[in-house]
Structure 1
C-alpha cells in the first residue's frame, strides 16, 4: 500500500475517536518523536500513534492490521536492538500513558505501560516504598519487566517480574485482557521473560516493599588494581547478605569532585556497593572492600529514586552491548575479564561491567522462562560512544570479551542486555523447553506474529 493511500485513508480512519497524537513524516515533531535511546538506529515509520489511553492502543492495532502495516511498540525506547521503531510501519508509542497509582496499604503500584523507572520510583518514594527497578531512571518499565527485570535491588526483593501481580494487555485481535495467577495464567507465566511477543502491555500492577533509603558506596581505583580488587570483591559478594547489591566495572572516570584529578578522563576501576539500609550498617558490612586503599570515593545515604538516576546513561550515543552468564568466576576468569578492558573506548561512556547475582534473585521461581537467574555472575560489555567509525571496534571488543569467558559461561542470556544476535540466542535467553511452551502461548494470543519486532518467539 502506498503512503499516499495510507495518509488519506488509514490516517483518517484512525483519527476518528483517537485521543492522543498522530504524527506523520511531514509533522514538525516527527524526527524528535522517532528518536530512541540507541542513536545507531535510524528508521522512518509512516505513522507514530502517541496513545493516551487503552482505546487508542486498540484502535491503532486494528487500523494497522487492516491496512497491512508493520507494528512496533514503544515504551521507554531503551532497547538496544531498536525494535521500538519500524521502517514504514506504525509505531504504538505509549509514552503518554505513564501514570503511576500507589496503594500504600496494600503496598502495590499500578503503572502505565509508557512509564519510565523515574515515574515509578518518584511515585513510590513519598510512601517509603520501592520495588526492583532498572539501573537507569530513563528505562521503560514495560520492556524491562517483560524481559525479567534485573536491578540494584534484585538480590533483596527478586527480579521485577517476580513482583508482578497482574498485567493489562491488548492482544493482536484488539481484545483487552487481564493476566494474573488467576486469569490467563499461562499468558501470565509467559510475561515473566517472554517480552512483548504477546500483545501491548498497557498497565502493570507490582508488589512494593518498605524501603526509605539506601546506602551507596562508589569506590575508585587505578585500572591496574582491578585484578586484585576484583578477587576480593568476588569473595566478598559470595558471602554478602541479600541487602548488598551493586557491581564492578571499568569506565572512563568522570569529572566529579570525588574523582582524583589525575584520573579524570582516563580509565578507572570502580566498585559500586548498594545496601538496603543505613550507612552505619553499610560501613560494617562493606569493611572488606573499604580496607583496600581506593583512590577516590562517593559514600552517601539517599533515597532509592536518587540512586536510580545517579548513573543514568547519556542519551544520543550509539549503543552496542552483550552479556554472558558465568557459572564460576575463578582467578583466571578475573584475569581475562580485566585484560579485555583495555579494548574499551576511553574516553567514552562505555562500561566493562561485572554484576553479581544470588540472593532472592537466585532463589526465585525456577519455572519462569528465565534460565539465567541461577548463575552467580554476569559480564556485560556495554559500548556507549558517538563515532560510527568505532562500530566495528566496539562489536569486536564485545564479542571478544564473551569469547574469553566462554570456559565458564552458563549458556543463558538476558535478552534485555542484547541486540540482534540470532534466534539461537533468543532460545538461550528463554530456555529450550520454555521456548516451546512460549511458542504455544504465542500461537494462542498472536498466531500471525503481528508483534514480531522484539526478541521474537515464533508461534507454534
Structure 2
C-alpha cells in the first residue's frame, strides 16, 4: 500500500465528502449496526451518486487501495468496514422510483427496506425485504434475501431485474439476464465482491394488507410446537411465511405479568393472500396448544415489516450463525430446545424458518444462492446488550450450531454468517464457490473490492 495517499485529490473529485480519522462524522460512519465490529478505515468516501462511486473506485484502483461498500451497514460480520481500507459510503444514495403500472422499483444502493416499503406501499405493491426493515437493500439482495414474502414472491435476489454496477476499474455496466449475465448471476446470492451496485431494479407484487400476528407459548411447549410446525408447513400455501422464535417475553399487555422476562417460544406469521382467508388456513397452527397470549390482525404489510425492528437495535453486540435442514426430526428437536431455552443473555433468540414455495421453484443453479431446496433453516441470533457478555454469547451461538451439525447440511446462508471466514467457506456449495471465485478474478482481478479474499 503506498504512503502519502492524496486524499485531497479524491475530495476534489467528489460531490460528497471525504472523512478521515479525527472527523466527528468519520467516527459515526465507521460504526456499523453490529456494535461488536470496531474497525478503522483509512478514509470514508461519502458518495452522493453513481458518478461519485466511479470517481472513488478509480482513485482506489490507481492507489491500489482495498475498498469496502457500506449500504445499510447491517451485515452482522461487518463487511461494510475493514481496517486500512477505503470505505465507500452509499448512505446518501437512497432515492427510489416506483413505476406502479410496470410494477417496478428502481432503488439506489444505500436505501433501507423501510425506504422501499414507504415508496411502494401507497400503490399496494411490495417485494421481499428483510425480517427487519432497517436492513440495507444491497447486502441483503446480494446475499439472497429471505423475508416475509419469500414463499409467494421469491427471494429479494429472485426479484432483481437488473443492476447498475461500477466495476473495480471504475467502468459502469448494467447487469441483467441479457447483459453481463455472468455478473448478474453472481449478484443474486454471491455475497458481494464483484462491483459496487449503485442501483437495483426490482419486480414488485400486489401486496397491501396482510394477516399477521404472534402467539406466545411457554418454552416447555416448544417440542410439541416444533412437531406441529414440521407437520403443517410443508403443505402450507405459498402466501404463508411463519417462524418459531425462542425469545424472552417482553412486557406486552396481552401477556400475563408472570410471563414477562421468562423464556418463551413464539409463533410469528405473515399471510399475504386474501386477508379473510388467513385465519381459516392458519387455524391448525395458530390454535395449537394453550398459549400465554396472542396478538394478530389485518394490517399494512409495511407495518408488519417493522414489527421486529425493536428486537434488533443498532449498537448492541451480535454474533449469528445459521443451519440448513432437510427435516425437523425428533433428534434435532432434542438437540435444539435445551440450548435455545438457556442462552447466556436474555436478548438472544433462535429462529426456526420454513422455505419451499417460490424459493424452491427456482432451479438450483439459476442464481448464486445455494440450498434453496432446503425445507427448513435455523438462525441463531446471538445478541448481547453489553460488551462483556459478547464472548459468552458467541460461544453459545457456535455451540448451538455444533449441536445441530449432525442433523444439518454443511452450508450456511450468506446473510446470517457471523464471520467472514464462514461466509467464504460455508455460504455456497463447492461448485458455486469455484464459479464465484473465477468471476471475482475476472471482474476484480486485484481483489480491491472482494470482501472474501482473506477468508
Fold conserved between structures, TM > 0.5: yes
CA distance in 1, matches of 2:368, 2:350: 27
| Paired residue secondary structure (2:169) | coil
| Paired residue secondary structure (2:242) | strand
Residue matched to 1:296: 293
Residue matched to 2:57: 61
Residue matched to 1:149: 145
| Offset, 1:421 | 5.9
The alignment status of 1:39 with 2:10, answered yes or no, reads no
Q: CA RMSD in A?
A: 1.7
Unaligned runs of 5+ in 1: none
| Paired residue secondary structure (1:12) | helix
Residue matched to 2:191: 195
Residue matched to 1:431: 429
Note the 1:60-459 alignment, pairs <5 A: 60-291=56-287, 292-312=289-309, 313-348=312-347, 350-367=348-365, 368-420=367-419, 422=421, 426-453=424-451, 455-456=452-453
| Paired residue secondary structure (1:378) | strand
Please tell me whether the aligned partners of residues 166 and 179 of structure 1 are also in contact (alpha carbons under 8 angstroms).
yes
Please tell me whether the aligned partners of residues 227 and 328 of structure 2 are also in contact (alpha carbons under 8 angstroms).
no
Please tell me whether the aligned partners of residues 216 and 299 of structure 1 are also in contact (alpha carbons under 8 angstroms).
yes
| Offset, 1:82 | 1.1
| Paired residue secondary structure (1:286) | helix
| Paired residue secondary structure (2:257) | coil
| Offset, 1:278 | 4.1
CA distance in 2, matches of 1:403, 1:11: 46
Unaligned runs of 5+ in 2: none
CA distance in 1, matches of 2:433, 2:24: 43
| Paired residue secondary structure (2:341) | helix
CA distance in 2, matches of 1:345, 1:264: 18
| Offset, 1:114 | 0.4
Please tell me whether the aligned partners of residues 96 and 114 of structure 1 are also in contact (alpha carbons under 8 angstroms).
yes
| Paired residue secondary structure (2:130) | coil
Over 3 Å counting, the alpha-carbon distance change for 1:456 and 1:358 in structure 2 is: farther
Please tell me whether the aligned partners of residues 265 and 346 of structure 1 are also in contact (alpha carbons under 8 angstroms).
no
Give CA-to-partner distance per residue, 1:315-341, whole Å, 9 cap, x none: 110010100101111122122211111
Over 3 Å counting, the alpha-carbon distance change for 1:282 and 1:429 in structure 2 is: same
CA distance in 2, matches of 1:449, 1:421: 15
- TM-score relative to the length of structure 2: 0.95
Please tell me whether the aligned partners of residues 20 and 52 of structure 1 are also in contact (alpha carbons under 8 angstroms).
yes
Please tell me whether the aligned partners of residues 318 and 390 of structure 2 are also in contact (alpha carbons under 8 angstroms).
no
CA distance in 1, matches of 2:215, 2:413: 27
- TM-score relative to the length of structure 1: 0.94
| Paired residue secondary structure (1:442) | helix
Over 3 Å counting, the alpha-carbon distance change for 1:240 and 1:277 in structure 2 is: same
Please tell me whether the aligned partners of residues 345 and 384 of structure 2 are also in contact (alpha carbons under 8 angstroms).
no
| Paired residue secondary structure (1:343) | coil
CA distance in 2, matches of 1:457, 1:143: 19
Give CA-to-partner distance per residue, 1:137-167, whole Å, 9 cap, x none: 1100001001111111111111111111001
CA distance in 2, matches of 1:290, 1:308: 19
Please tell me whether the aligned partners of residues 146 and 196 of structure 1 are also in contact (alpha carbons under 8 angstroms).
yes
User: Which range moves more in the overlay, 294-303 or 257-266?
Assistant: 257-266
User: Which range moves more in the overlay, 84-93 or 173-182?
Assistant: 84-93
| Paired residue secondary structure (1:197) | coil
CA distance in 1, matches of 2:420, 2:325: 19
Over 3 Å counting, the alpha-carbon distance change for 1:37 and 1:276 in structure 2 is: same
| Offset, 1:301 | 1.1
Question: How many residues are treated as equivalent by the alignment?
Answer: 451
Please tell me whether the aligned partners of residues 164 and 197 of structure 2 are also in contact (alpha carbons under 8 angstroms).
yes
| Paired residue secondary structure (1:246) | strand
| Paired residue secondary structure (1:96) | coil
CA distance in 2, matches of 1:427, 1:35: 26
Give CA-to-partner distance per residue, 1:312-367, whole Å, 9 cap, x none: 1111100101001011111221222111113313432x211111111111111311
Please tell me whether the aligned partners of residues 211 and 297 of structure 2 are also in contact (alpha carbons under 8 angstroms).
yes
